[in-house]
Amino acid sequence: MKNSAILLSILSACSVVLAAGQEVKVAAPATKGTLKIISSLPRTGSANAQTSTMVNGINLAIAEVGGQVDGWTIAYEDMDDASPQRGNWDPAVEAQNANSAVKDDTCVAYIGTFNSGAAKVAIPILNRAGLVMVSPANTYPGLTKPGFGEANEPDVYRPSGKINYFRVVPTDDLQGVEAANWSKFLGAKKVFILNDRELYGKGITAVYRKQAESIGMEVVGFEEIDSKAANYRSLATKVKATKPDMVYFGGTTQSNAGQVAKDMRSGGYEGMFMVPDGCFEQAFIEAAGAANLNGKTYITFGGLPPEKMTGKGAEFCAAYQSKFGAVPEAYASYGYESARVILLAIAQAKTKDRSGILAAVAATKDFNGVLGKWSFDANGDTSSRVMSGQTVQDGKFVFVKVLGN
Amino acid sequence: MSVLRADGVTVKFGGLVAVQDVHFTVKQGEIYAVIGPNGAGKTTLFNAVTGIYAPTEGHVEFNGREIVEPLTGLVLFKFACAFFAVGIFTLLGLNVETIWTAVIIDNYKFNQPFPWSVAATSWYSTIWSLPLVKNLLPLLIGGGIGVGAAAVSWSRGRRAPDHIARSGVARTFQNIRLFNELSLIQNVLVGMDYRMKTGFMSALFRLPRFYRERREFHESAKKLLDFVGLGDRAEQAAGSLPYGFRRRLEIARALGGKPTIILLDEPAAGMNPSEVVGLMALIRRVRDAGTTVVLIEHHMRLVMGVSDRILVLQYGKQIAEGIPEEIRANPKIIEAYLGSEDHG
Amino acid sequence: MLDFEVFSQQLITGLSNGMIIALIAIGYTMVYGIIELINFAHGDVFMLGAFLALTLLGALGMEAWGPSGQVFGVALMLIGSAVFCGGLNWSLDRLAYRALRKSSKLSLLVSAIGCSFVCMNLGLFWGGAPMKVFANGNSAAAPKNFPAIIPQINLLGDGFLRITPADLLVFTVTIPLMVGLTFMVKRTRLGRAMRAVAQDPTAASLMGIPVDRVIGATFFIGGALGGFASVIYSLYNNTIGFQMGTRAGLDAFTAAVLGGIGSLPGAVLGGLTIGCVRSMSDQYLETRWTNTIVFCILVLILIFRPNGLLGSTRREKV
Amino acid sequence: MRWRPGPIFIILALAALLPLLDVVLPPKMQLCEAVRGVFLYAILALGLNVVTGYAGLLNLGIAAFMAIGAYSFGILTCEIYPFQLGFWPALALTIPIGAFAGFILGAPTLGLRGDYLAIVTLGFGEIVQDVLKNLDVVTKGTQGINPLPAPTFGGSEWTAEDEYKWYYLFFALLVLTVFAVRNLERSRLGRAWFSIREDEIASRSMGIRVERTKLIAFATAAAIAAFAGGLSASVLSSTGEPSNYDFQISILALCIVIVGGIGSIAGVLVGALVMVGLNSIVLVKATAWMAANGIGSQGNVLLSPNNWKFLIFGLALILAVRLKPNGLIPPRIERAKQ
């Protein structure tokens, strides 16, 4: 009974989808041909919430140029680097995506990845093919910056000797420092640091810890949590017993930041709570419960929040809101920015040649984007140093100040 | 000469006494029967002898030796090994970060040759420079757990059926326990397993001695199947065998290990009279081939026909022992059997 | 604050968490006891129960109800989720397991794994429901906040030690359930039938016990306990998500095995043990090693007690 | 006796010819790379088949050994560690390392009854992930170890673009594993495993040393899984992160073995093709195709094709065991013919 009902619903859903698909396919006006942008993000499983907004951002960027740049039709393929059995990114699938992008002659750019671990798999493959890769989310410094990761990084990602990997997000080493400085500014003397044991959380807390100690805050505890635990009550008790006035959690909504924030409160901790940009999304507030965050929660973000944007940023906000019916979140802006950088490069390269487009991306200078005016530096990192600090009031993010100055 | 001797064997399950204070001695080359009404504790006695249950009290001796793995020096040595293995493992496990840092990270500079000799000495000094809580304590606690676990598993296994079987005691089961998905010949080969010598590597790489041994044992397994009259069905799956033949296959499997003594648990159950005659002949042949036979049976004609001596159990206690004629004449036994719903 | 206070606080937390684990573990242990199936889908049935509870809460607007109304609301969610999870678990048995009774245990296990994936996906869809409590379905996969209608305030005033109404709820719901369940299994006809089927299904069916119905009833009761647990879990942790079943199921399964799989008091003891070990390890060791410690303790206990803490040695008939 | 090709031979022969098909297919539809994943899981599942299929021990932590293999391969070869072995010696070393890990886990726990052992193996899977994550100093935590070497034939090291070389390397190693497992299956040891699976008490009473025999099965499975782990790390040139080897991988391997046919090599090969094929070929290509054609919508949870993957995978499992409870290719009962 039930099985057949499920099957029926699958079938009907499929047919609906197919019918819809046929309508969408509209014949494009004749152009010089098609250039394809491929994104590879984990679309199955728990990261889906974040990656959906990124894909929205990318789609918006392409729609804004009317799907055409310099006479080329821009095609976009949204690849999934997660597999259903894993429910998270899968290195084999990521490699497969990268290889198929390389093989696809029309593909000129690759947007991805979400996880820095996946980037390590994809970058060398794309590098050998000279295909440009722009990441909207990787923050592990070792991918681009010498001296921050392992001894052999980042050279191992550049087997061809050229740089093909760029990112529009500031790396952990910047955000961690700013977060620590801001904590001190907010009056924190004793800080308890938590992270989710992911590459992102670990990296950012390591930087935070170092900076916190060097500017004279006392680190009263450092714990690495299990991001799948049901709750963190006992950890909250431990935190409370050390009497910190700031708890810094390096992690994302996906790695249970909401639960951590919530349990700190229900466990009786009443001080400040700070998280990095992995939590700068409405889903974090929703997961944590607005009441638990109001007032004493601080979020750092590599860029300006939507409502503080002027010029290009404000336009993006309005367009996003009218198209998707929601305020764009951090990841949406990152996704949008990545796509725009690529589109601009295509326009400037005047070629369908991968190396030409790669060179054009690398030459991005004073790009007037939603994250500010920035350029790619010699390592492929964004030159943008704008960090903003937010807090939460009445279930909404509220801009507090621009950090670092 | 006694092959099997039970001395005051008692088996209790919780409050229930299944076998109480049973003594008997089986001599080399005889056919010895254990009889008694249903629930008299015969199978439990067998299970106690073959190590499936540990007797609550009493001893079982086989060829004058108790079939319990003794606490020898070798066992103590194994305990010591467990102590050091687990202890050192715990010690290294708890300090792996410190040791790794001191040995590998501090000595290795990227793209430069690794000073192996320095690394080889620094691990030692690192361990001893740790505070006592981090080296001696884990060693002792881990070692304690290791010895404890080794001792527990040793004491569980010292009277284990495999140990007893390997010293030459084979058996069949009342509720036939064949390997149904294996062929007949494979079943017999399992019985022969502990006589085989080749190991993992020769099987993996198919060394010549693997083939030699396989040929040898296949031939003798075939002979055993012929011996019990199943030679023409060697490749059939045991599960597809008619009931009457299954008991024969169990006997063949038990004989595979060339045991000095074989324990048959109700071999005639469910057989028709002509099959029983065949079975009697088979049991005699087994004995004549040099294997002592102990059997549990309800089938009086078979018991009286083949047995040299008979032990009678009732409610877990032994009520008589003797040659068939004595047993037949014993009024106690007639009484015991009249009280039960016995079959012929 | 005294060290003793920290310890007692951790004990309270551990016991509360342990009680919830125990309640889920009972569902595992009952099903295992009767058909020897590790019901992988149990955790996901539990997860769907929590989604139902949140839906009820949102649809009826319970947040706006007064304190006494919310007590009623909690009762409503408990009953709703219990019936729903029980029914769902029963249907899984009916649709996916019953046909496999005669095949190998491993096929049954794979069927359960399949059900687990299906339920998880249904949870994902449910998370996209266009309701306010599900964030209007904007991000289906994101964790959902479960409003704290049982407030997380300290009943003991301003001291370090905290006991919240949520802690009390865990105990006031769980303990009567466990007592009632024990009574049911020991004293009622259904309980006797369940034990008979667990011992020997063939013999039980020869004695006229409708085996399939008894197994179905066991699935229903196990699922219903999962449903109760889901509501308590949600009210205690205040977050639910479509992947929470995996972890909850894993903990519960561990608890069931630790206590001796098939034994009801064992499941409770196992759950409480795991809850307390977790708390203590979080406090006195490092949080990142907590899982490792739980499993090491499990292995240690199983080495010395191979049938779990309260499991009975099942003597095979030879 | 006239030789007839068995199912194993047919499957392997077809696999050997697959690259020919790729030549004619358009790049988007080419299969080799995805089928390489099938080979990898087939090797892993062959290992699991030894312990679960042959010896009848439910192992829910096989991925842990894969992780051990991948990480030891990484540590032994990567240039940020001093060992820096080449591809072949390191890959060969994953086998004894895996076997040793299997021994460590197996030795204290093999006395446990079926499902108690299952939870211990499951727990072991979690412990290994935790340890790999927590021992930053040794394993680089969640960062992963990279780059890792590929084999070198004729001077230059292979890269990910040398698809067909990799394909045949995986193929050759799969064939090797099949032969190894088959040799063990058809030996004294295989027989002992079957006998334990069928009836532990009876085989004990026949003098089979059950614990030791189980331990060998355990270690063999662990060794094969570790080998698979090393191989996968090499082709990706990275160990990935510890959670790439989580419970879900063990579950997938278990599903392959059971859906394919417990204890049957041909079954495992077909099972790997069906399960992994569904996961990483059919579902991936279908969603990519739908996305490329603008089918579906991100806005609605029901209309996003990615959101259906769990459901389809789950239903496939339920249907597979429902329709073929003994597996797609159940083992032949008589193993005696040799």
Domain ranges for chain B, please list them: 2-68+164-177+243-338, 73-157
D147 and A125 within 8 Å at the Cβ level: the answer is: no
- A 10 A CB-CB count for C8 gives 15
The model's pLDDT over B278-312, given as tens digits with 9 standing for 90+, comes to: 899 999 999 999 999 999 988 888 999 999 999 99
Average pLDDT score over residue span C251-259: 92
The total domain count for chain D is: 1
Question: C141 and A46 in contact (C-beta within 8 Å)?
Answer: yes
B13 and C304 within 8 Å at the Cβ level: the answer is: no
Containing structural domain, residue A78: 32-170+312-374
- A 10 A CB-CB count for A402 gives 12
What angle do the packed helices D210-236 and A91-103 form, to 10 degrees? 30
Residue D336 in any domain: the answer is: no
Give alpha helix (H) positions in D25-86.
32-48, 62-77
The pLDDT > 70 percentage for chain A reads 91
- The helix/strand/coil state of B3 is strand
- Nearest by CB to D294, from A7, A25, A92: name it: A25
Tell how many helices (H) and how many strands (E) occur in chain B.
Answer: 13, 10
Residue A62: pLDDT band (50, 70, 90) is very high
pLDDT at B177 over 80: yes
In chain C, which among 171-230 make CB contacts under 8 A with chain A? none
pTM, two decimals, is 0.91
| DSSP conformational letter for A381 | B
Kindly give, in sequence order, each residue whose CB lies less than 8 Å from that of residue B143, ignoring residues fewer than 6 positions away: B82, B83, B84, B86, B87, B90
pLDDT at B30 over 90: yes
Residue A6: pLDDT band (50, 70, 90) is very low
Residue D334 in any domain: the answer is: no
The pLDDT, as a whole number, for residue A313 is 84
State the smallest CA–CA distance between residue D317 and chain C in angstroms: 5
Residue A24 in any domain: the answer is: no
The pLDDT, as a whole number, for residue A307 is 73
Please indicate, yes or no, whether residues A277 and A232 belong to a single structural domain of this protein: yes
Residue C145 in any domain: the answer is: yes
Question: A252 and A199 in contact (C-beta within 8 Å)?
Answer: no
Kindly give, in sequence order, each residue whose CB lies less than 8 Å from that of residue A359, ignoring residues fewer than 6 positions away: A349
Residue A208 in any domain: the answer is: yes
The total domain count for chain C is: 1
Residue A328 in any domain: the answer is: yes
The model's pLDDT over C40-57, given as tens digits with 9 standing for 90+, comes to: 999 999 999 999 999 999
A151 contacts on B by Cβ (under 8 Å): 110-111
Q: Which residues does B contribute to its contact with C (CB < 8 Å)?
A: 13, 43, 47, 52, 145, 148-149, 152-153, 173-175, 177
Containing structural domain, residue C152: 8-129+138-245
Q: How far apart are CA B6 and CA B34, in angstroms?
A: 13
The model's pLDDT over C140-149, given as tens digits with 9 standing for 90+, comes to: 777 888 988 8
State the smallest CA–CA distance between residue A161 and chain C in angstroms: 39
The pLDDT, as a whole number, for residue C317 is 63
Name the average pLDDT for chain D.
87
| DSSP conformational letter for A170 | -
The strand pairing partners of A69, in sequence order, are A72
Please indicate, yes or no, whether residues A224 and A317 belong to a single structural domain of this protein: no
pLDDT at B322 over 50: yes
Number of residues written out for chain D? 338
The strand pairing partners of B295, in sequence order, are B33, B264
What CATH number is attached to the domain comprising D192? Answer: 1.10.3470
**Does any CB of chain D come closer than 8 Å to the CB of residue C120?**
yes
Residue A123 in any domain: the answer is: yes
Q: How far apart are CA C164 and CA A265, in angstroms?
A: 12
Containing structural domain, residue D55: 7-323
Residue C182 in any domain: the answer is: yes
The model's pLDDT over A281-325, given as tens digits with 9 standing for 90+, comes to: 888 888 888 888 888 899 998 888 777 777 788 888 889 989 888
Residue with tokens 């509720």: B175
Question: Domain B2-68+164-177+243-338: which CATH class?
Answer: alpha beta
Q: How far apart are CA D117 and CA D115, in angstroms?
A: 5
pLDDT: is C309 or C313 the higher one? C309
Cα–Cα nearest to A45, from A228, A179, A189, A195: A228
DSSP characters for B129-193?
Answer: HS-HHHHHHHHHHHHHHHHHHHHHHHHHHTT-HHHHHHTTEEE--SS----TTSBHHHHHHHHHG
Question: B36 and B314 in contact (C-beta within 8 Å)?
Answer: yes
A198 and D37 within 8 Å at the Cβ level: the answer is: no
Q: Alpha carbon of D253 to those of A88, B159, D39: distances in Å? A: 17, 37, 12
pLDDT at B154 over 90: no
Please indicate, yes or no, whether residues A176 and A166 belong to a single structural domain of this protein: no
Residue A249 in any domain: the answer is: yes
Please indicate, yes or no, whether residues A189 and A212 belong to a single structural domain of this protein: yes
Residue D236, both tokens: 């990706």
The amino acid at B178: L
Residue D338 in any domain: the answer is: no
DSSP characters for A229-288?
Answer: -S--HHHHHHHHHT--SEEEEE--TTTTHHHHHHHHHHTT--SEEEE-GGG-SHHHHHHH
Question: D48 and D40 in contact (C-beta within 8 Å)?
Answer: no
Question: D246 and D86 in contact (C-beta within 8 Å)?
Answer: no
Element of type H or E holding A222: strand A218-224
The pLDDT, as a whole number, for residue B112 is 83
C317 contacts on B by Cβ (under 8 Å): 175
The amino acid at C89: N
Residue C235, both tokens: 């009210």
ipTM score for this prediction: 0.90
* Residue ranges in chain D whose pLDDT is less than 70: 1-4, 154-155, 291-292, 296-300, 333-338
Residue C300 in any domain: the answer is: no
D206 and B193 within 8 Å at the Cβ level: the answer is: yes
Please indicate, yes or no, whether residues A190 and A338 belong to a single structural domain of this protein: no
Please indicate, yes or no, whether residues A192 and A87 belong to a single structural domain of this protein: no
What CATH number is attached to the domain comprising A58? Answer: 3.40.50.2300
Residue A253, both tokens: 């909504």
pLDDT at B343 over 80: no
Cα–Cα nearest to D115, from A322, C37, A332: C37
The total domain count for chain A is: 2
Residue C298 in any domain: the answer is: no
Average pLDDT score over residue span C144-155: 85
β-pairing, B317-322 with B309-314?
A: antiparallel
- Nearest by CB to D123, from C118, C127, C295: name it: C295
Residue D35 has phi, psi (to 5 degrees) of: -65, -30
Q: How far apart are CA B274 and CA D157, in angstroms?
A: 75
**Does any CB of chain A come closer than 8 Å to the CB of residue B111?**
yes
Kindly give, in sequence order, each residue whose CB lies less than 8 Å from that of residue B309, ignoring residues fewer than 6 positions away: B30, B32, B33, B321, B322, B323
Question: C255 and C43 in contact (C-beta within 8 Å)?
Answer: no
Name the average pLDDT for chain C.
90
Kindly give, in sequence order, each residue whose CB lies less than 8 Å from that of residue A166, ignoring residues fewer than 6 positions away: A132, A133, A134, A135, A341, A361, A362, A364, A376, A380, A381, A382
The model's pLDDT over C266-286, given as tens digits with 9 standing for 90+, comes to: 999 999 999 999 999 999 998
Mutation target vs A (from D35, D126, D244, D245; most A CBs, 10 A cutoff): D244
Element of type H or E holding C225: helix C211-237
Q: How far apart are CA A221 and CA C132, in angstroms?
A: 37
**Does any CB of chain D come closer than 8 Å to the CB of residue B198?**
yes
pLDDT at A29 over 70: no
Element of type H or E holding D227: helix D210-236
Residue D231, both tokens: 């191989």
Residue C295 in any domain: the answer is: no
Q: How far apart are CA C281 and CA A401, in angstroms?
A: 39
- The helix/strand/coil state of D286 is helix
- The helix/strand/coil state of A398 is strand
Burial of D288-325, coded b for 16+ CB within 10 Å and e otherwise, reads: bebbeeebbebeebbbbbbbbbbbbbbbbbbbbbbebb
State the smallest CA–CA distance between residue B110 and chain A in angstroms: 6
Q: How far apart are CA B165 and CA C297, in angstroms?
A: 35
| DSSP conformational letter for C184 | H
| DSSP conformational letter for B102 | I
The model's pLDDT over C156-165, given as tens digits with 9 standing for 90+, comes to: 887 888 899 9
**Does any CB of chain C come closer than 8 Å to the CB of residue D223?**
no
